Structure 1
Amino acid sequence: MKEYWENEHQMEVENRIRNLMWTVSGDYDLDVSLDVDSFQKSRYISLYDAVKQGAFARYFDKDALALYVLKKTFLGAEQKNLMRLAQTCVDAAVHKKVEEERSGVQEIRRQAFSDILEYDDRRLAESMTGMLRMAYMKKALAPGYRATRKLEQALTDVLSLEESSETMDIIRVVDDLYNRLLDRSFEEKQGGLDEVLAVTLEELAEFGWRDFLKENASEESFDDYMRRVSQAMTRTAQEDEQEKKEKREGNTHIVRVKEEDLQKVYSYVELNFGRSYLSRLEGKRLDYQLCRGAHGDCSLYFTEGILRSPVKNNYQYQYALRQAEQNKRVYYQNHNLARKNITILTGVLKQALMRRSEMEYVRDDHGHVTPNLLWKVGRTEDKRLFTRTISRNSTDFVVDVLIDASGSQRVRQPKVALQGYIISRALSSVEIPHRVMSFCTFWDYTVLHRFRDYDDDKSADKNIMEYTTSSNNRDGLAIRAAADGLLKRQEENKILIVLSDGRPNDIIVNRPNSKNPHTYGGEYAVTDTAREVRHARNMGISVLGVFAGKEIDLSAEKKIFGKDFAYIRDIANFSNVVGTYLKRQLDADG
């Protein structure tokens, strides 16, 4: 009986709070999760949460703000503190608007803030975002309150939203506060707000947000997660229930999907990366041949990119178009530097090839008679009285250039495209057959974007400016696929150049009826990639790693490529570093 009355009471509280939210929002179809539990501690906190949810839905685009939070988190922002900043900014943006229409809200807000400061002051004081939240509430209760200089500057930005009616204003303030208060290096590492907003829905859908894709990879699951994020942004004090669950269970990078969802994945890949130049049958044959061991249950997808083989003119197509234009702008801005690098690298290659093509004269027992050796006839047993000419093959080389195109390269896209172009242009100048591809992993598909094929003419080099980044990277499988293409070439001397940041990392798609695979990241992924490099070398392929990442990842790069890796700190020295390696390979095989 006690349980019955408790349930009745909870239902009554929930109905009361829901009616308040509906009244404020004016939308009686609005369906959100309500914080009923906090009513036990403070009814004002629960009531004010309902008011904010209604007001937020009425005056702003809650989905746009939630989507920004997901995109910022995708690029590495700490979600908990980002959400706290959003909560504070949302309150500033909505409270005056709703108070003007409903005077009683002001008292509810005042009581809610008083209760939070009484119950949660210690927890709030543990973080910068908590202290900002505390200072914001104290100033609301006592306008004369003064915080520290740093917090006062932040409060000025937050309070500026009281007069705002645009969701983008909230997003800009949240983004600026995060970069200024929590991670001053974020913009340098991942880019500014434009780069954050450029993250695609497809990238988010495969990222494996906490648990929203663990049970179901359908579009409805994404909507559910979006809804949960937008609701969390109106919390006044309580932790989101999902956050508590994550603390208990820990995080994961394994995505479990249903079979019907997997059937849609190929279409998503085709839509966002362009049609494959292989037939489905050819693709399956390569999967069977190459997707084994650590890459079992994975797939390969070969394309010439969304700009060359689009399914339709969608958002991803437009994003790729903009990025290609940006890559070209950076090239033209650094045209003299690029041309100098190309000239230097071309010169190094030409000299090495000329040495290989020089005639070599050796003494032998046949060939052209050497007159000054005829005195040995009948006097010595040395029969090498002839000179034979040996002509070495100067063009028996083939090169693959493989470029990491995962999301971690996003901030370096133009720079990486420029590096790829310099190598390709120099190789074209000396007529060495070469292929250039980028790679990233979307769900269980490792996408290999071919910019130019081995025997294309030099006009194809410019296609590298279409380089864009997305999603994750399964380096071991990409290297295995590139090596397979090289081994099918007739040239005796094969070289693979890998441009990466030394951070192989991929989620796992847990197919129905398959074993739970190992998460492809950290030491496991580094070891697997190093194994593929060693295997390629054992098969006669010379492998060079060109590293342009962060110094913290240098140890992983060394483990993957051993002594044959180049650390590019400055693009101006790029041709010298790569040229030295290529020259050594050409001389060694002579």
Structure 2
Amino acid sequence: MKDAKWMYEDYEFDNRVANLMWTISGDYDENMDSGEKSFISKNVALYHAVTAGGRRKYINWPAVKKYVISRHRAGFNKDILLSLIAMGSDVVVEEKIIAERPGVYDIRKNAYDDILSNYYKLHTDDLLEKVRHTMILQKIGKTPMADTETRNIANDLMALQKREDTIELLKGIEDVYVKYFPMFVEGEGGDAYESGHNKNHIRGDFSDFMLEEMFEDPEDQDIEASIEEIAEALLGESQGDLANLNTANDNRILRVQEEDIEKIYEKVAYYYGNSFLETSEVKKLQNRVCKGEHGNCRIHMTDGVIRSDSKNEFQQKYVQRHQVKNIDVYRANQKVFRRNINKLRESMSRTLVQEEIVDAIPSDAGQLIPSKLWRIGRSSNNKVFVKNIDNNKGSFVVDILIDSSGSQRRNQSRVAIQAYILAMALTQLGLPNRVLGFSSFLDYTVIKRFRDYESPLSANDNIFEYYCSGNNRDGLAIKATCEDLIKRREDNKILIVLSDGRPNDIKVGKGQVNDLTEAYRGRVAIADTAREVRFARQQGIMVLGVFTGKEQDLMAEKLIYGKDFAYIKDINRFADMVIKYLKQIIMN
């Protein structure tokens, strides 16, 4: 669409839209969903940023998303429902935002002028567009010429203004939907109900959503997240190629036609950066690691869109925006983080030096010490020999593996900084280390290399390219990482995994083939990841988990890493905690 062209070519304006949303919401960890962005004009785009921020500030947006999933499962038309939610939520938040920030009034006026102008050009017969037009005229004090149905829907939506509670707002939205759009609720057989069908027979009522909210499985991420992750990965591109995606609700299976999935796979390098491995090497790696729970999975190894040959300028700018955000957070507390780097470097240096000391300890055999001979027959301590204990355990190499999935988004900058502190301390010590991030796209596990073993110190800055999207298949990422680590010549190999203890991935079902194996989540995913950690340790790799998640997921982290994991609540104590656990695994 020509009107949308600015969205992809004007990076500064796109950044302005994002900043406006963040300013209104007060939450810099949030991003606008693609459906919240406008292609009508820049004025409308700015106003949509305002309302998007308002929704996040005044409305429980995660609950809204869960509600949409629940209603979509029940057969509601998602497009109609989302339009009603957008109009209803705007009614709730608009006046609140203007009261708090009077300048928003002018932004809204300019946007409404463009929307009304665009409406007159369209001469649309679309009912929801007419409702939107009617509501805008009502808001600016004009009396619209509208048919009875349009006016009634607009009035019912305007009446939602006093519903402060999100659940009450959603109940009101559902009442409007059932009252005016009963023909857009699919029955069990896939057929739409006839207009006027008794609303009590609609498959799944509002109480179903409330039960889902109350008894939600904490291990189960929203099915909607799977769809959102694809949209995020494609970043503003047309979703036409994804039109045939279906999600099996009971097992997080994404059902895709074979011809469609191949089209999507062609774009993996375009959105994530070209592979730094030859195709033949990738196939060899996949043959070794994509087995068992990971059968039919694929691997994509990349340096990312910024540092590999990529023509995807929009994706590059997207990653650069996250890079700037991470760097800004680092610089805001730079002194503390530099202290952590220095402390960690010095602590590791002392630990390794101490390991090289040769200790002489009393013994029953070994080198005789004449000055101790008096003890024989006179003392219970008859150890008149000493034995030399060589503590030198040889050279070290370290891999740092970072969970880059969407569930880490709230901690994105914090996780990036933790990895940066580790890499800087290791590099300054002269210890070879590699830093990788991992996430999933469909059945690809994408592993991004931020620095390689022999990269210069300056390569550590690449870690700030870290951003979070998609799912995470921890077991496969650990398995693939250990393939290279185990081949290193150093005596001691350490793997440090920064994760939130929630391995969780969708499953891709190709065509109509039924596969009864469980999706990669919950106990299945935790057990698989724990198994890969144990296998790595059996191969002589010392594995340390650095927990970056919520306390409710601590048990999963313990099941995966045993006693060798660090839970670091205070970033100021990061160096102290890491060296404590590094000493522990080295001594063991």
TM-score band w.r.t. shorter chain: 0.5 to 0.7
Matched residues in 2 for 1:353 and 1:275: separation? 38
**What are the superposed Cα offsets for residues 3-36 of structure 1, whole Å, 9 maximum, x if unpaired?**
xxxxxxxxxxxxxxxxxxxxxxxxxxxxxxxxxx
- List aligned pairs for 1:466-481, cutoff 5 A: 466-481=465-480
Cα shift readout 1:556-590 (whole Å, capped 9, x = no counterpart): 112111221111211111111111011223334xx
SS in 2 for 1:78: helix
Q: Secondary structure at the match of 2:267?
A: helix
Q: CA deviation at 1:550?
A: 1.2
Shift of 1:463: 1.7
Q: Max radius of gyration: which structure?
A: 1
Residue deviations 1:258-301 (CA, integer Å, cap 9, x gap): 33233333432101111111001100000001000000000111
| Residue 240 of structure 2: aligned partner | 220
- Aligned partner of 1:129 in structure 2 is 169
Alpha-carbon distance in structure 1 between the residues aligned to 2:303 and 2:287: 22
Secondary structure of 1:566's counterpart equals: strand
> Which residue number corresponds to residue 539 of structure 2?
539
**TM-fit CA distance, 1:543:** 1.4
Equivalent position of 1:573 in the other structure: 573
Structure 2 match to 1:314? 313
Match of 2:356 in 1: 357
Q: CA deviation at 1:460?
A: 2.1
Please give the secondary structure, in 2, of the residue aligned with 1:423: helix
Give me the TM-score of the superposition, normalised by structure 2: 0.62
Query: Partner amino acid for 2:286?
Result: D
Map 1:91-490 onto structure 2 (within 5 A): 93-96=132-135, 105=146, 107-110=148-151, 127-130=167-170, 202-203=231-232, 219-220=239-240, 222=242, 250-361=249-360, 392-393=391-392, 395-490=394-489
| RMSD, aligned CA | 4.5
Q: Distance in 2 between matches of 1:76 and 1:563?
A: 39
Alpha-carbon shift at residue 347 of structure 1 (Å): 1.8
State the partner residue of 1:553. 553
Contact 1:401 1:436 in 2 (8 A): yes
- Alpha carbons 2:393, 2:492 under 8 Å: kept: no
- Contact map agreement 1:353 1:395 (CA 8 A) in 2: no
Question: Paired residue for 2:66?
Answer: 78
Structure 1 CA distance for aligned equivalents of residues 233 and 250 of structure 2 = 17
Given that residues 297 and 444 in structure 2 are in contact (C-alpha distance below 8 angstroms), is that contact kept between their aligned partners in structure 1?
yes
Query: Which segments of 5 or more consecutive residues in structure 2 lack a partner in the other structure?
Result: 1-37, 69-80, 91-127, 159-164, 178-212, 214-220, 375-382
- d(CA) in 1 for partners of 2:465, 2:459: 11
- The answer to whether the 8 A contact 1:271-1:310 is kept is no
The superposition leaves residues 103-125 of structure 1 with CA deviations (integer Å, 9 ceiling, x where unpaired) of 652533455679999xxxxxxx9
Q: How far 1:202 sits from its partner (Å)?
A: 4.2
CA distance in 1, matches of 2:174, 2:462: 53
Give the distance between the partners of 1:429 and 1:74, measured in 2 at CA: 43
Cα–Cα, structure 1 residues 320 and 261, in superposed 2: closer, same or farther, change >3 Å?
same
TM-score (norm 1): 0.62
Q: Measure, in 2, the Cα distance between the counterparts of 1:475 and 1:222.
A: 26
Change (3 A) 1:57 1:405: closer
Match of 1:527 in 2: 527
Q: Which amino acid aligns with 1:77?
A: K
Give distance in 2, aligned partners of 1:587 and 1:334.
33
Partner SS state of residue 331, structure 1: helix
Q: Structure 1 unaligned segments of length 5 or more: list them.
A: 1-55, 118-124, 138-181, 183-189, 191-195, 207-217, 226-241, 376-383
Secondary structure of 1:505 counterpart: coil
The number of residue pairs the alignment matches comes to: 426
SS at 1:481 equivalent: helix
% identity of equivalent residues: 39
